Structure 1
Amino acid sequence: MPTPDSSPSLPRQRHWLLALSLLLIACNLRPVFGSLSVVLPEIMRDTGLSAAGASLLTTLPIVCLGLFSAPTPWLSRRFGAERVLLLALLLIAAGTLMRATGGLAWLFASSVLAGAGIAMGNVLLPSLVKRHFAQQAALMTGMYIFAICIGATTAMAATVPLSVNWFDGSWAHALAFWAAPALLVLMLWAPQALRMHSERIDPAARAGSLWRDALAWQVTAFMGLQSSLAYIVIGWLAPILRERGLDSAMAGYVVAISTLAQLVCSLIVPSIAARCRDQRALAVGQTALGLVALLGLILLPLSTVWIWAVLLGCAQGGLFALALSLIAMRSGNAQVTAQLSAMAQGWGYILAACGPLLTGLLHQWTGSFTSSIWLVLLLSAALAWSGWGAGRNLLVQPAVRPA
């Protein structure tokens, strides 16, 4: 297994360039979501989009994360993981640029394109880390989760100021601006992706199925449920805070601070998880902290929002880092990691889409975001249950197909 120090196929300097490139790619996996949420009220005002339509707009890319995760391992085997990751960057950049039109049809189409690209990146990054950085898997996992959080935080904090100060109040051009980082990374990644040879896949490693493995489904549920709560925060926390009385810029800053707080936990949780005998207590403890913090943001005085935002970020950053770590920890090799990653992120993100969709629908039906409390409680309880199962110190066992 290649490592930065001993790979027979890549010199040391190219390994560090590979590491930097993967981290920069990770930075582009969340701006599509975070940038939209902070200007969602303006989009609804200018386009006439209903609360149900806004719920669909925020949910559609998450559904795409699930739908396009499934074929990614096959594409990786057919064309090579590095080349498929290049395609993912192209889709993210193209989908983000389409938002510049400001039309509703283009906004929905951009969500499909960008969501497809993000799905591919989500599946491929863990397997590439396990393949090229096996001896530093915990560190690299923490680093690329750190990079994901940086991208999300920057988009949430900067989209409204970009709209006001650079684009004369145009939310459409502010949203499209986030294609620029993807295009820059594309230029760095293309020469490497086209030069690399596809990894030979052991036929036995891909012969099995995880569909009948209970542990694989528990990892999938944990990934999906923590993502569901995370996308409620990404998609709806800013509108919730604005409904409670914060202005658009301040609501964006609160969400950005919450995302920024994820950075610390995203760096340390993979290492903590790797040192633990199992990860059950870690999963349940972080779930409880996230529930308390989210309820604080919805119910308690606005003077305390900064405290709850930081605590929520710590909890959700840790949960996301643990979910991705469990994909690698519960699988025995890079091929099974890619298989489990596709399953966990494919079905997981379809499950995750229910959270923001139901949040928007509940708001439309009741006229208030307070009704989402029951949804948050239900999702948190299910998350704790699945985390207790996924945190057991076991490996998934792909079922061997009969000859």
Structure 2
Amino acid sequence: MRKKSYCWLAAGILLIAANLRLPITMMPPLIPWLKSQLGFPTNMSGLLTTIPLLIFALLSPLIASFGVKHGNTRVLLGSLIFLVIGSYLRIIPNSWLLLLATMLVGIGISGGNVLLPAVIQEYFPRKTVVLTSLYTFMMGFVASLGTGAAAPIAQKVGLGSAMALISLFGVIALFVWFIAIRSVPQENNTKKTTTHSARASSLLKYPLTWMITFFFGAQSLLYYSLLTWLPSFWSESGFSTTTSGLLATLFQLCGMPLSLLTPIIARKRSGMYFISCLMGGGFSIGIIGLLLFQKNFIANVLLAILLGVASGASFSMCVVYFQRKTSSVIETAQMSGIAQSCGYVLAACGPVFSGIINGWTHSWVGIFLVYTLLALIMGVDGICIARHQPLNTSIDDLDR
């Protein structure tokens, strides 16, 4: 493959990464417009986040299998088509169509979630660390921009135009990816299918698979729960809506440096230990600090930064484990699919049950203590994963 082809492929990977959170994070700031213009019910607003997460959980194993059968790059192209169609269907002013379009967006994002780590490992084996760093950085950075810019853009140009403008990221990604895969040797995607496809279910037999699955689920639950409810917590603590929104944006932006640096730091096992401790400690201290310093603005700024750092490191560490604890591109895709399937079930439950418990108790203490315990267990789990040898199902099958 020529150098120009690699450049197109790398650009496509980064543009797909830019669309893996943006279509979700852009929606909460637009809820006031959805309510006023569409009459979208308040009790259904949480579905705009929950539906994609449930779609991720349902489709992740299937996406990995489709990648094996039809080629990762082709499946990603199909996923982008779903993403673009869903994104622009959301512009049509109809509440039920909005939910249907959100499902299509979830289908589109699922492909990138599962297959991008495998595509990076397959086509850029010597640049895996660099591209993984850039991929996780782009995902979080563009998502943060979407959160911060959605409401101001909607104020100036209206709801439909704002959604159309932000969704252009998906159109650009589709265009670049279509060009990129025309020069990609597709036989690379499928030549090992017969050898490896039978091993997909065998990953379920390994404790390491479930350790990584819990790790992914815990960090997803913490991230999406905090993303959903921190603005409400800060508002109830006495901060203005604007200040609460700025703190929430700070929470997302401060994950950027660690999402970029984590794959580099985690090249060695000692780095994996450090990141796992940073995650467990950062989430735990940050969440307890929120309860202790509810009225202190400076303290909450620092705590938002700490929580952002922990969340940025956690997702990048998941991608590192998908790549470093497997021995082939097929295993990477299958591990990613299994972990995300179960993990996003946890993630979808987090915001919903947090809201239900808060409604019953009118307090954040119990919820935040559960988050803290989960963060500590996740940190220990991360250390155990780092100590574990990578899977190699081909050797294990021969041993049998």
Normalised TM-score (structure 1): 0.89
Structure 1 range deviating more: 241-250 or 60-69 = 241-250
- Check conservation: 1:65, 1:119, Cα contact below 8 A: yes
Q: How far apart are residue 40 of structure 1 and its match?
A: 3.9
- The yes-or-no answer on 1:177 pairing with 2:170 is no
- The yes-or-no answer on 1:386 pairing with 2:381 is yes
Tell me what 1:291 maps to: 284
C-alpha distance in 1 between matches for 2:234 and 2:41: 20
Query: Partner amino acid for 1:130?
Result: Q
Tell me what 2:127 maps to: 136
- Check conservation: 1:55, 1:359, Cα contact below 8 A: no
Q: SS of the counterpart of 1:207? A: helix
- The yes-or-no answer on 1:325 pairing with 2:315 is no
C-alpha distance in 1 between matches for 2:257 and 2:4: 27
Tell me what 1:3 maps to: none
Q: SS of the counterpart of 1:100? A: coil
Identity %: 26
C-alpha distance after superposition, 1:191-231 (max 9, x if no partner): 22345324234233332211110001101110111011111
Tell me what 2:76 maps to: 85
Q: How far apart are residue 235 of structure 1 and its match?
A: 2.4
C-alpha distance in 2 between matches for 1:95 and 1:235: 22
Match of 1:395 among 390, 393, 396: 390
Structure 1 portions without partners, runs of 5+: 1-9
- Call closer, same or farther: CA 1:279–1:26 in 2, change over 3 Å: same
Match of 1:364 among 345, 359, 364: 359
- Call closer, same or farther: CA 1:16–1:238 in 2, change over 3 Å: same
C-alpha distance after superposition, 1:276-329 (max 9, x if no partner): 347244313322112222343465225123222211111111111111101101
- Call closer, same or farther: CA 1:286–1:131 in 2, change over 3 Å: same
Q: How many residues align?
A: 390
C-alpha distance after superposition, 1:134-170 (max 9, x if no partner): 1111111111001101111111110111111221xx3
C-alpha distance in 2 between matches for 1:299 and 1:101: 44
- The yes-or-no answer on 1:255 pairing with 2:243 is no
Q: How far apart are residue 395 of structure 1 and its match?
A: 1.1
Q: How far apart are residue 247 of structure 1 and its match?
A: 4.2
- The yes-or-no answer on 1:200 pairing with 2:190 is yes
- Call closer, same or farther: CA 1:219–1:294 in 2, change over 3 Å: same
Match of 2:220 among 197, 218, 227: 227
- Check conservation: 2:213, 2:342, Cα contact below 8 A: yes
Query: Partner amino acid for 1:160?
Result: A
Structure 2 portions without partners, runs of 5+: none
Tell me what 1:303 maps to: 297
C-alpha distance in 1 between matches for 2:48 and 2:240: 22
Normalised TM-score (structure 2): 0.89
- Check conservation: 1:89, 1:117, Cα contact below 8 A: yes
Tell me what 1:215 maps to: 208
C-alpha distance in 2 between matches for 1:91 and 1:375: 36
- Note the aligned Cα RMSD (angstroms): 2.5
Match of 2:142 among 151, 154, 160: 151
- Check conservation: 1:98, 1:176, Cα contact below 8 A: no
